[in-house]
Amino acid sequence: MVQGLSKSFLLIPLFTVCFLSLACLGVGPNRSDQPITDPDEARALNSFFNQWDIEAKSGQWNLSGEPCSGAAIDSTNFENSAYNPFIKCDCSYTNGLLCHITHLKVYALNVVGPIPEELWTLTYLKNLNLAGNFLTGPLSPSIGSLARIQYLRVGTNALSGQLPKEMGQLTNLLSLSLGPNNFSGPLPAELGNLLLLERLYIDSSGVRGEIPPTYAQMQNLNTLWASDIKLTGMIPEFIGNWQKLKILLFV
């Protein structure tokens, strides 16, 4: 009898240890864990910020080495000019323990050089503003990995090369700003897949050629700036079918 009871009581500490271990993993109901930035995204962000020689302003975000902290997760507006460079995060993943970077702004900070490939691994981005710098080189085909992106601004840089057809994979885009830049070649026909697109700015972007017939599908377009580029051919008749178009600049 005594031996049997001893074995039963030995199970109690073991159960307690297991329960505490689950609590430490965030399974328990009374956890006090703070959310962390996805480690891969944090590494990518640190990598291209180092390459661009920029960093978060003291006390705004990236507090104690955690990118998704401070203003990155509070009510601070992403467009607030006092916060630049800036990110915003969504920390609702993994029961509130994991944050993904959804907004990134590096606006008019005199950044020089190409866009690092690591940036395109931030696949939860919904808003990306890299305008007003001195970025060079082409847009990588890897831009197609930003499937969630809604607002993309890369204008007023020195980007070059042809626009990658993979941009046609960004089917959640609402606004796309490509100029001014030094792009070359035609507009990708694949941009016609951007059925939700409302605003397209290709002015002074360097692209040339005809507007592809696939653009007839852009029925939500309300703004098109296409001035100071070498478009050829006639203005397509299908533009008259863009019922929501309010602003059209071809000067």
What is the tens place of the pLDDT at every residue in 169-185?
Answer: 999 999 999 999 999 99
pLDDT of residue 244: 96
Q: Which of 149, 111, 116 is nearest to 131 (CA)?
A: 111
Mean pLDDT in the chain? 89
Q: Where are the domains of the chain?
A: 1-33, 35-249
CATH hierarchy code of domain 35-249: 3.80.10.10
Quote the percentage of the chain above a pLDDT of 90. Answer: 80
- In the predicted structure, residue 11 carries a pLDDT above the cut 50: no
Euclidean distance between CA atoms 72 and 161, whole angstroms? 34
List of residues 6+ apart from 79 with CB closer than 8 A:
none
pLDDT of residue 10: 37
What is the tens place of the pLDDT at every residue in 145-165?
Answer: 999 999 999 999 999 999 999
pLDDT of residue 231: 82
pTM: 0.86
Question: Token match 């951007």: residue?
Answer: 194
